[in-house]
Chain A
Amino acid sequence: MEQAPETKASATLERLLPGQAPVLTPGHTLETITDKIVSIVLRRPVTLGWLGGFAFFFGLLNLMLFAMAYLFYRGVGIWGINIPVGWGFAIVNFVWWVGIGHAGTLISAILLLLKQGWRNSINRFAEAMTLFAVACAGVFPLIHTGRPWLAYWLFPYPNTMGVWPQFRSPLLWDVFAVSTYATISALFWFVGLIPDLATFRDTATNPVAKTIYGLLAMGWRGSARHWKRYESAYILLAGLATPLVLSVHTVVSFDFAISILPGWHTTVFPPYFVAGAIYSGFAMVLVLAIPIRRFYGVQDMMTLRHLDNAAKVMLGTGLIVAYGYTMEAFYAYYSGNAYELFMFKNRLLGPMAWSYWCLILFNILIPQVLWIRKVRLNPAMLFVTSLVILLGMWLERFVIVVTSLHRDFLPSSWGMYVATRWDYAVFAGTLGLFFSAMFLFVRLMPMITIFEMRLLLPQAKLSEEVAAHD
């Protein structure tokens, strides 16, 4: 596949000051953009690489289904959880996945409102990522309950028992937060897709594909009226999605902050959960973007500028997270509360200290390499760093959930937590769900928004100015 734009791009970048590098390598016209993006889906043959990757993750997905079937058959006892550690991998994974989702919404909604043009090429699959991540997250609140077949009792509906759910419980807030989030993300993503689906409909040759894309395009003709409605709808949804970026993970953090458990009962949780969410989210964006641009040769659309920006965001949010950790330590010391103090000592030196130190290494120390520009502009190194951060963020939730629980107030009740193969199976399974969805997405949908990319062209600029005038 063509390497030219890549090298060209980096070459140009060398000459430019950071930030000025183009988000779309020069030389593209309206046609080339459309053609390039469309061809990936409609004309590119299915490669062995794609098949292999998809097969692997689809296998994992089936592993999850098996693990869940067995879970329903035997009960949550097949996991490592116990008393005192009532929550384990399930909740850890839930928080992790929800967090990952956030980056997508941030990119597509907030950056849109902030008129960050560079987002245009990555927002589409970032949104897809959000959607799939939330789907993965959504699995856990259901299956982690002891009697999942009754989990619908968490919804307030006029039942024959004549009782309502407990509105004071953060778990109930979760139900609303996450379901709202899922709905909005799905809508936002789909609305965004419509014009491009229309393009697909029009360029597709295969009648079946034509019909399907046609159905999904919902009769989009690209008339001025359509565009006007579309714009307002899109902005409106962006407006709706924006607060969610902050609220959802705040609510999730309440699951812990509301309790009285040392290590959970902390006011710093909401901000640093949100930061952490975006942190891990961008890491996931890069983990997806770097191979995609490589394999589908779209380095000219997802340029190093994008990687650079993403890396900077990670650096920033990473530092907020670091601040969060410091604050936790500070509270523990400053509160003078024996239980808080012990909790923190136990994190540093207790039987699960390994998790805390790995967390510090992965989330705080290693990401500092992002200060170096060379690293930010080196896809390979960025990729590795992102993986490390993802692992680190997972560990953060593990530390919060497990090490806080396993030694709390009464020493008599202290226990240990050892994950079983079923814990791992379900986690791996959600990875399978996520990535197999991603694989399908890049093959079936425009992973880069055609029309928004066109906006980046000089021609578009012109038309925008004209629009601005009248």
Chain B
Amino acid sequence: MAQIFHRSANSIAKASILGGVILVVGLLWAALQLQRSPYFTYAGVARPQPVPFPHQHHVAGLGIDCRYCHTSVEVSGYAGVPPTKTCMNCHSQIWTAAPMLEPVRESYRSGRSLSWTRANDLPDFAYFDHSIHVNKGVGCNVCHGRVDKMNLMYNQASLQMEWCLNCHREPAKNLRPHYVKQDPKDPATMGDQIFNMAYEEPSTSHPVTIKEGDRYKTFTSQTGPEGLGTYLVKVNNVRSPRDITNCNTCHR
């Protein structure tokens, strides 16, 4: 009697077995990638803002310290977004006519708040505290990226839990000293390094010297027994990874 299927069906059947496996695995893999992609994390995606505020210009250009606007970053969990008043401190003097700044002036006149869009937005069940991170020596740009190079603001990190844990499981990697030995030729060594966007971690080519009591201490590596991070973990009493990976560190 007549065959229903062509001979090729056999090989197709065989191929389909392998194909099926590949398809399933591929889909899962794709899904996991998608989930970590900027599509979900917004990483590197600038947000629409009422006023196109250029961090680049204010930080790099004018050299305004982070804390001028984000006033409570050292003392409160909430870094603080500047009230309109802060903008007007300068912009009542300069760029007073710039149409771009009209929303700011409008807000100041009417007393209605500006409504910015969050760039670094954690889920509401994650409780992040700026002050403790700053105090323990986590630099701004560790999480926020080179804000001084961002025109419109965006979050550079995925801000996903695994990303947080990366650091909490090995804090030494990202700690930096508040103050380093000042080198009059290098402005980067002036002031609190936490807020220094250009801070470079120690390496043999670029050693970092800090003051310990009345003498200086130089580091040529970040991690490892002789590393600066390791040293800072000790002197800043950073709690053990076991402690800072407790669920209650971030969730309540």
Q: Could you tell me which A residues sit within 8 Å of B by CB distance? A: 157-163, 201-202, 210-211, 214, 218-219
Assess A161 versus B162: contact at CB under 8 Å? Given A218-B13, A219-B9.
yes
* A211 cross-chain contacts in B, Cβ below 8 A: 4
**10 A-B contact pairs sorted by A residue (CB < 8 Å):** A157-B28, A157-B32, A160-B35, A160-B36, A160-B158, A160-B161, A161-B161, A162-B161, A211-B4, A218-B13
Pairwise interchain contact B4-A162, C-beta atoms closer than 8 A? no
Pairwise interchain contact B4-A160, C-beta atoms closer than 8 A? no
Q: Which of B9, B10, B160 contacts A160 (CB 8 A)?
A: B160
Pairwise interchain contact A219-B5, C-beta atoms closer than 8 A? yes
B165 within 8 A of A: yes
CB distance from A278 to the nearest CB of B (A): 34
Query: Whole-angstrom distance between the alpha carbons of A211 and B5 in the complex?
Result: 8
* A210 cross-chain contacts in B, Cβ below 8 A: 4
* A163 cross-chain contacts in B, Cβ below 8 A: 161
Extra contacts, 13 of them, besides A159-B162, A162-B161, A163-B161 (Cβ < 8 A), are A157-B32, A160-B35, A160-B160, A160-B161, A160-B162, A161-B162, A162-B162, A202-B1, A214-B5, A218-B13, A219-B5, A219-B9, A219-B13
Main SS class of interface, A: loop
Pairwise interchain contact A158-B32, C-beta atoms closer than 8 A? yes
Query: Whole-angstrom distance between the alpha carbons of A161 and B162 in the complex?
Result: 5
CB distance from A292 to the nearest CB of B (A): 30
CB distance from B42 to the nearest CB of A (A): 14
CB distance from B34 to the nearest CB of A (A): 11
* B28 cross-chain contacts in A, Cβ below 8 A: 157
Query: Whole-angstrom distance between the alpha carbons of A214 and B4 in the complex?
Result: 7
Pairwise interchain contact A219-B32, C-beta atoms closer than 8 A? no
* B1 cross-chain contacts in A, Cβ below 8 A: 202
Contact residues of B between 196 and 232, Cβ < 8 Å to A: none
* B166 cross-chain contacts in A, Cβ below 8 A: 162
Pairwise interchain contact B10-A219, C-beta atoms closer than 8 A? yes
Assess A162 versus B165: contact at CB under 8 Å? Given A211-B4, A214-B5, A219-B5.
yes
* A201 cross-chain contacts in B, Cβ below 8 A: 4
Query: Whole-angstrom distance between the alpha carbons of A159 and B165 in the complex?
Result: 12
* A161 cross-chain contacts in B, Cβ below 8 A: 160-162
Query: Whole-angstrom distance between the alpha carbons of A162 and B166 in the complex?
Result: 9
Contact residues of B between 1 and 60, Cβ < 8 Å to A: 1, 4-5, 9-10, 13, 28, 32, 35-36
* A160 cross-chain contacts in B, Cβ below 8 A: 35-36, 158, 160-162
Q: Which of A159, A162, A163 has the most CB of B within 10 A?
A: A162
Query: Whole-angstrom distance between the alpha carbons of A159 and B10 in the complex?
Result: 39
Query: Whole-angstrom distance between the alpha carbons of A202 and B158 in the complex?
Result: 59
* B32 cross-chain contacts in A, Cβ below 8 A: 157-158
CB distance from A40 to the nearest CB of B (A): 22
Query: Whole-angstrom distance between the alpha carbons of A201 and B1 in the complex?
Result: 12
CB distance from B101 to the nearest CB of A (A): 39
Query: Whole-angstrom distance between the alpha carbons of A29 and B13 in the complex?
Result: 34
Query: Whole-angstrom distance between the alpha carbons of A267 and B166 in the complex?
Result: 42
Contact residues of B between 140 and 163, Cβ < 8 Å to A: 158, 160-162
Query: Whole-angstrom distance between the alpha carbons of A158 and B36 in the complex?
Result: 11
Query: Whole-angstrom distance between the alpha carbons of A463 and B179 in the complex?
Result: 92
* B158 cross-chain contacts in A, Cβ below 8 A: 160
Query: Whole-angstrom distance between the alpha carbons of A210 and B162 in the complex?
Result: 53
Nearest A residue to B5 via CB reads: A214
* B13 cross-chain contacts in A, Cβ below 8 A: 218-219
* A214 cross-chain contacts in B, Cβ below 8 A: 4-5
* A158 cross-chain contacts in B, Cβ below 8 A: 32
* B161 cross-chain contacts in A, Cβ below 8 A: 160-163
Query: Whole-angstrom distance between the alpha carbons of A29 and B50 in the complex?
Result: 87
